[in-house]
């Protein structure tokens, strides 16, 4: 089969939906997918209408009753390993597609996005073979007893709605456990980053995944494929990663039919930097947490609280680290920071830059758009930015910006640091920087988030629970915790 996607910057391709093992054209209008680094068109993408989404859901329903539904866990596991191998065999294709869609530096995507995309299939291929359930011996009046045991069954057709910041990584983070448990999926990738989800359809076919198990429909959110998918009565569960407002809308849609949701939503994450930290390691870690992927990481840090004795030294060193970041051609190994995903998103982030200035912030560095040569002058680059002097009530301190920026705020003691970290409607992640192990344990236990790092950031064991508190989401992903969402438990009671 000829490749379904464009992995060359000099050629515009047409994407298709992927339904029932085939690439399906559509008569509805196409929209442009642009390279954020240059503004150039990468490909033209079809927008699914309700009939296309219905076809995808029906194909997924049929596949549940077909060969996929009859396979053992061992057979599904073996196929998932072939999918992982297929991603790595086409590493360069996936890498080029991901860089063109997102604009992120090739070095970042090659190190994280593509390897993790493959690793997710291997992790859950292992996990499904070790799932366990409960068994109870139950007393009965006649003394013979009964045996109660639970079995896991697939939930059914899963609607998978993916974000644009880590397209392949977060897509496979959901698809792999769903398929491992015997479900089928209909994927709606972000309209900003549709290419790797489509390319994965080719790998699914090559790996022997039966038709209808993995389906992709393109489009937007409201009044488009996203809404059609979440409202479709044939969808048995919905998993979504993205901003909190969209997650709220998906919960409303899922309420019709009382369907379960797994939501990993926004964050306004804090780093707590204590005076006894290893400053070299802390600067390195906080620099990554604030500026990696141009700040477009749900786990990224936008609030940096620093104990007063090291405030000046920390601020100057973070400023220097930010100013060393090099924007430009994402395929150039010298490039260390990419653009924002779109012009609209850059406008949003710039509005917060203006708000910070209006609220009296001192701009330590950045605050605007960097000057770059053509064609990158037409891309959506923005300057890494650091502020001081903002009040905790400022919108810049309360709302998720999702850009390469942070505000540095001093604190005096441990209790003040915890109070500042928890003063947020979000509760996704935090990072604590200290060489005092007792303090690390005390603070970690009191911060109201789903994941806490100590002297690290973005360090993941894929078996551990991942998710947020408060407005940062519902449910947990990772290891057995993913499997809990993608399966239903049924109890069998046998009278002895």
The angle at the Cα of 148, spanning 144 to 153, to the nearest 5 degrees, equals 155
> Mean of the pLDDT values across residues 390-408?
98
Query: Any idea where the domains of the chain sit in the sequence?
Result: 13-265+472-495, 269-461
CATH code of the domain made up of 13-265+472-495: 3.40.605.10
Confidence of residue 1 (pLDDT cuts 50, 70, 90): very low
Going from the C-alpha of 221 to that of each of 187, 188, 309, 349, 488, the distances in angstroms are: 13, 9, 47, 21, 28
Distances in Å between the Cα of 496 and the Cα atoms of 138, 262, 490 are 10, 39, 19
For residue 13, name the pLDDT band (cuts at 50, 70, 90).
Answer: confident
- The predicted model gives 363-379 an average pLDDT of 98
Task: Judge whether residue 10 has pLDDT over 70.
Answer: no
| Residues making up the chain, counted from first to last | 496
Cis preceding-peptide flag for 375 (omega within 30 of 0): yes
Q: List, for residues 20-38, the tens digit of each pLDDT value.
A: 999 998 766 899 999 999 9
pLDDT tops 70 at residue 6? no
200 Cα distance to chain centroid: 17
Residue 8 is predicted with a pLDDT of: 46
**What's the chain's average pLDDT?**
96
Residues contacting residue 24 through CB under 8 Å, at least 6 positions apart: 16, 17, 18, 52, 55
Q: Looking up tokens 């995944």, which residue turns up?
A: 209
Tens digit of pLDDT for each residue in 156-201?
A: 999 999 999 999 999 999 999 999 999 999 999 999 999 999 999 9
CA-CA distance, 471 to 477, in Å (whole number)? 16
Q: What is the mean pLDDT of residues 238-265?
A: 96
For 40-90, write each residue's pLDDT tens digit.
Answer: 999 999 999 999 999 999 999 999 999 999 999 999 999 999 999 999 999
- Ramachandran quadrant class, 11 (left: phi over 0; alpha: psi -120 to 50; beta: rest): beta
For the domain spanning 269-461, the CATH number is: 3.40.309.10
Q: Looking at residue 5, what is its pLDDT?
A: 52
180 to 76, 391, 410, 465, 481: CA distances (angstroms)? 6, 48, 47, 18, 13
Q: Which of 181, 298, 405, 406 is catalytic?
A: 298
pLDDT digits (tens, 9 = 90+) for 285-344: 999 999 999 999 999 999 999 999 999 999 999 999 999 999 999 999 999 999 999 999
pLDDT at residue 25 in the model? 81
- Where is 17: in which H helix or E strand? strand 17-19
- Smallest CA-to-CA distance from 215 within 241, 245, 235, 240 is with 235
As a whole-number percent, the residues of the chain with pLDDT over 90 amount to: 96
**DSSP SS3 for 468:** coil
Q: Is 298 a catalytic residue?
A: yes
pTM of this prediction exceeds 0.75: yes
Active-site pick, 264, 302, 400, 477 = 264
Do the beta carbons of residue 17 and residue 5 sit within 8 Å?
Answer: no
């Amino acid at each position: 089969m000829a490749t379904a996607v464009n992995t060359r910057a000099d050629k515009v391709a047409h994407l298709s939906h992927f339904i029932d093992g085939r690439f399906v054209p559509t008569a509805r209008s196409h929209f442009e997918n642009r390279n954020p680094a240059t503004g150039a068109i990468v490909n033209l993408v079809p927008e699914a209408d309700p009939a296309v989404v219905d076809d995808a859901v029906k194909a997924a329903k049929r596949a549940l009753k077909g060969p996929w539904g009859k396979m053992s866990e061992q057979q599904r596991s073996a196929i998932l390993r072939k999918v992982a191998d297929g991603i790595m065999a086409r590493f360069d294709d996936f890498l080029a597609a991901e860089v063109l869609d997102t604009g992120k530096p090739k070095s970042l995507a090659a190190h994280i996005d593509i390897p993790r995309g493959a690793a997710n299939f291997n992790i859950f291929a292992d996990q499904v073979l070790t799932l366990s359930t409960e068994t109870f011996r139950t007393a009965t009046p006649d003394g013979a007893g009964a045996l109660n045991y639970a079995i896991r069954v697939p939930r059914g057709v899963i609607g998978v709605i993916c974000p644009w910041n880590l397209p392949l990584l977060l897509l496979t983070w959901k698809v792999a456990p769903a398929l491992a448990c015997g479900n089928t999926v209909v994927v709606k990738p972000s309209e900003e980053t549709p290419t790797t989800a489509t390319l994965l359809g080719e790998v699914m076919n090559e790996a022997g995944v039966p038709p209808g198990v993995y389906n992709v429909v393109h489009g937007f959110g409201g009044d488009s494929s996203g809404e059609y998918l979440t409202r479709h009565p044939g969808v048995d569960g919905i998993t979504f990663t993205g901003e909190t407002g969209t997650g709220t809308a998906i919960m409303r849609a899922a309420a019709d039919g009382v369907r379960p949701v797994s939501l990993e939503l926004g964050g306004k994450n804090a780093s707590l930097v204590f005076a006894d930290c290893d400053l070299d390691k802390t600067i390195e870690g906080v620099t990554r947490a604030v500026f990696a992927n141009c700040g477009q990481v749900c786990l990224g840090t936008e609030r940096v609280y620093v104990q007063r004795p090291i405030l000046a030294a920390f601020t100057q060193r973070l400023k220097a680290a930010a100013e060393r970041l090099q924007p430009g051609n994402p395929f150039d190994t010298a490039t260390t920071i990419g653009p924002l995903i779109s012009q609209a998103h850059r406008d949003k982030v710039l509005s917060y830059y203006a708000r910070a200035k209006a609220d009296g912030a001192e701009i330590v560095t950045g605050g605007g758009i960097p000057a770059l040569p053509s064609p990158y002058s037409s891309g959506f680059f923005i300057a890494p930015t650091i502020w001081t002097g903002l009040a905790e009530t400022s919108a810049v301190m309360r709302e998720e910006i999702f850009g390469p920026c942070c505000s540095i705020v001093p604190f005096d003691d441990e209790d003040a640091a915890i109070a500042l970290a928890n003063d947020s409607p979000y509760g996704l992640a935090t990072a604590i920087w200290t060489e005092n192990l007792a303090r690390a344990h005390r603070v970690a236990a009191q911060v109201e988030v789903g994941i806490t790092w100590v002297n690290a950031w973005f360090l993941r064991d894929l078996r551990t629970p991942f998710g947020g508190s408060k407005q940062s989401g519902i449910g947990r992903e990772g290891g057995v915790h993913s499997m809990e969402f993608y399966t239903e438990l049924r109890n069998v009671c046998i009278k002895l």
